[in-house]
Chains A and B, each alone.
Chain A
């Protein structure tokens, strides 16, 4: 069973379109994240939710909107896609933050290509 699952795994779309990436975790974790990894393999946090509440919102264009319908799901919606949005988007989850030696579990990534 996949602990953190993302869909779709691969997405090729045209500039200007709106797309969503879905994420679900079956670990019972309280905290979920979205990370973006660019072509240079630099992983950068975008958002973090704890029990459906937004707790980290980095400097991300407001075309990116996360939505957490419940604590097991954190979806990422992107409006008006641009070429620079092409990247791998990783969803992740952890239990009650990372302060007790708990680790963060990553999904397998969603490869987004904007053409």
Chain B
């Protein structure tokens, strides 16, 4: 069975800190790894990573995939209270667009 594990499960930091969220996977027929941010409602898309070692950036967020280590990290620099959310990692596998989600990391940014 495909498995996606995220760590830490939850994290509390002060505004301005830099955080690193981890995602590791054990799946069959890996295609891509995706990161989502979920606040109160639906998850919103952050990044899709397919190639190893190529960093994707969007503002203060960046992410990179390591296919040798079967893992990915999501970095957030200069955190703000608006970054407080659950960050979900998902792995796309197979030919049928199946996304397997991790358990998420709950990030809380305090003043």
Interface residues of A (CB under 8 A from B): 4, 31, 33, 35, 40-45, 48, 50, 55-56, 90, 94, 97-99, 101, 103-109
Contact = CB atoms under 8 A, between A and B. Distances in A.
B42 A45 contact: no
Given A98-B32, A98-B92, A99-B31, A45 B100 contact: yes
Contacts of B88: 43
Interface residues of B, number: 25
Main secondary structure on B side of the interface with A: strand
Nearest to B101: A43
Given A55-B96, A108-B41, A101 B101 contact: no
Contact of B96 (A4, A56, A101): A56
Interface of B: 31-32, 34, 38, 41-45, 48, 50, 86, 88, 90, 92, 95-101, 103-104, 106
Contact of A104 (B95, B99, B106): B99
A98 B32 CA distance: 9
B43 A43 contact: yes
Nearest to B92: A98
B58 to A, nearest CB: 13
A35 B38 CA distance: 14
B42 A40 contact: no
Given A56-B98, A104-B97, A108-B42, 11 more contacts: A33-B97, A33-B99, A40-B103, A42-B104, A45-B99, A48-B97, A97-B96, A99-B32, A99-B92, A101-B50, A106-B44
Given A42-B104, A43-B88, A44-B101, A107 B42 contact: yes
Contacts of A48: 96-98
Q: 4 closest Cβ contacts across the A-B interface?
A: A106-B42, A43-B101, A97-B97, A103-B45
